[in-house]
Amino acid sequence: MNQLKKFNSFSNDIIFIDGLWGTGKSIIAPIVGSMECVEKQKIEHIFEYLCVLRYLNKIEPDAVDVMLKTYADLFQYNNLIGREVNLRWNDDSGPRNNPNSIRYIKRIFGKEGDSVVEEINQKNLALLVMSHMVEPTSQPLVKAYGSRLKVIEMVRHPLYLVEHWYSYLSNFDSKREFTLSFDYNGQKIPWFASDWKNKYIDMTIIDRVLYSIIFLYNLLFDSLSKIDIDKPNTLVISFESFVMNTQEELERLHLFLGRSHSLKIKKILKQQKIPRKQLSLGKGHASYGWTKSDAGSEYEEYNNKLKFIENKGSKDIIERFDALIKKYNQRWPSILNDFN
């Protein structure tokens, strides 16, 4: 049997900003995208799709490997020649939310060809990809990219994910919803619920939300425990620390990526509304239920979110969710520990 192989791959770094839906990836992406020799973020779902398909054993290893290498090179080449520039103003990958956008527009009129590839390799111009929950299924990325791969894994207190996820799963049957899914007796089941599909079908939306977050965090914990300590390709950053201990986290990013921050970093931080005195006083996606907090304190905000699940969720699942919160608080402590 002939084995597929990608020849002459580029040598540049490939950076993923990853995390569950609602963890705050859009806050950190412009900061990383402004760093030395890093391209602005691209939201390309093909990377996570390929990893999930391999995780589900729905595609051959050599096919995944070739596709991952090909798409990484193709997307980076297109970046450098201004192809597929996103001009939608409010998009995470659009000009409003990314520094140096004029540079990308100018490339439309610039050069193309082998000299562009040489520039990518010589300057180590990093491809920056935003992904959803790719870390637990990331073995194909590790195999394809080796030392080129850098994953920045954003985590966030589970309670602060619930409303985002509630909106997400409430609209899961929408024609604009593109999560890989199974057909089970005519019902759409997200890929991550394939092993508990009967439970998923019988649950209310809020119980699906809580159980999904529990399941995916446990999957993430398992994945992080297998990272090579001597050659770590993953940096975990908690949302709570990033928005409240911003300078410390910026230094960790600098050391992990080996790249300096932009001279415009203060302006970028101001646009992202960090650092903050209260976690929820920032930015978010209105389409996923985010609204500006009117809570007078962090404690009040926390209790509002707690009441949301207590009024809707099943007792046994809430108890399991509380256990997840305690596990999260142990691993990534913050001011929220005092409220549990």
Q: Residues 5, 53, 48, CA angle at the centre, nearest 5°?
A: 85
The amino acid at residue 120 is I
Q: Where are the domains of the chain?
A: 14-335
Q: Which residue has the tokens 């919160």?
A: 325
Is residue 84 pLDDT above 70, yes or no? yes
Place of tokens 């975990």: 236
Closest CA to 303 of 270, 334, 332, 339: 339
Choose between 300 and 86: higher pLDDT.
300
Which of 115-124, 146-155, 276-285, 287-296 has the least mean pLDDT? 287-296
- The answer for 207, left when phi > 0, alpha when psi is -120 to 50, beta otherwise, is alpha
Yes or no: domain 14-335 corresponds to CATH 3.40.50: yes
Q: Bigger pLDDT: 192 or 98?
A: 192
Grade residue 148 by pLDDT with cuts at 50, 70 and 90: very high
Taking only the tens place, the pLDDT of each residue in 21-73 is: 999 999 999 999 999 999 989 999 999 999 999 999 999 999 999 999 999 99
Task: Give the per-residue pLDDT at 282.
Answer: 62
Q: Strands 127-130 and 149-155: what pairing?
A: unpaired
Structure tokens at 221: 């914990």
Paired tokens of 60? 């051959």
Compute the Cα dihedral for 83, 87, 92, 97 and give only its sign. positive
pTM: 0.91
- Chain segment 272-321, per-residue pLDDT in tens: 899 998 887 765 544 444 455 666 789 999 999 999 999 999 999 999 99
